[in-house]
Amino acid sequence: MGNCLTCCKAKEVSRPTRYAGENNASIPLSRQQEQTEPLRATEYKAPEQAVLTARNIVITDKKMFNPYNKLPPIKKQSNGESKRMSLISREFSENKANALFDKYKESDCDCILAEGVEKFCDDLEVRPDEFIVLVLAWKLNAETMCLFTREQFVSGCQSIRVDSIKGFQSKFPDLLLDVQNKLQFKEFYKWTYKFGLDHDSGQRTLPIDMAISLWKLVFTQSEPKILPRWLNFLQKHQNVRGISKDTWDMFLNFVEQVGDDLSTYDDTEAWPSLLDDFVEFENDCQNQNVESDLHFNP
């Protein structure tokens, strides 16, 4: 085959760059001059047919060459939702919760009593009279002091998603935070009254010493300024033998409405009589203090 001018031009289009080792002598002078100068990117244009062919390959075989076409779409979650799902999916073993209950229950009955509760608190590294123990008893559905049935204990463990001592300890901050919520605290406060009753003896009102201890304990995280004066009033009035449920419940409303100095107390409202007596006692004390100041400072 001869090397005509038409064939050379065709080769120039399909082979725009020079390879090392080519014999320049067999190439026309104009072609040699092009190879001695660097090829500018803007000067070269691929054949139009080649571009179309490449585009057709991409379009036609897109599904074939896409390595991700079988992967499922990624579901985006917010940080809050991810944390919530992580908390919900936290593993809980009912068998482990039952085994934990068995560790503290009495040998002759299927209940955790005073000795088991004390051992339970020792393992938790808390004292039985600490506030967190009262919160735990509430979360574990206890109905009376120093008594957990298996159903109460295991269902309570399931509700807070714990089945070990370390699990309980890790939950302490969350449990303490829960009762800072106003609605949660109100529920917790009302439960405390029933928890303090001696159900075996048919007790319907809290003994005054038990009520005082529970009031001190239940307000551990946020003590009303009026509380010490209220407890002082109860201790000085020996005729007060017990606290009714109505008085217990209404004291929380009383604290929220009357203020620290009883300035917003309204005697026309239907307060329990013991709360009315307390306000009268406080007013008498203030009047006596005023008379005493006048006597010593005329």
Domain boundary assignment for the chain: 201-298
Q: Taking the chain, what is the end-to-end CA distance rounded to the nearest angstrom?
A: 138
| Amino acid of residue 252 | L
| Overall average pLDDT of the 244-253 stretch | 96
Q: Is the pLDDT of residue 266 over 90?
A: no
3-state secondary structure of 207: strand
Confidence band, pLDDT 50/70/90 cuts, at residue 233? very high
Spatial CA neighbour of 18 closest among 3, 4, 31, 2: 31
- Taking the domain 201-298, which CATH number applies? 1.10.238.200
| Amino acid of residue 223 | E
> Burial of 9 by CB count in 10 Å (0-12 exposed, 13-18 middle, 19+ buried)?
exposed
Residue 53: half-sphere exposure toward Cβ, Cα within 13 Å: 5
pLDDT number for residue 261: 81
pTM, rounded to two decimals: 0.67
pLDDT number for residue 240: 86
Mean pLDDT of the chain: 78
Cβ neighbours of 50 (radius 10 Å) = 10
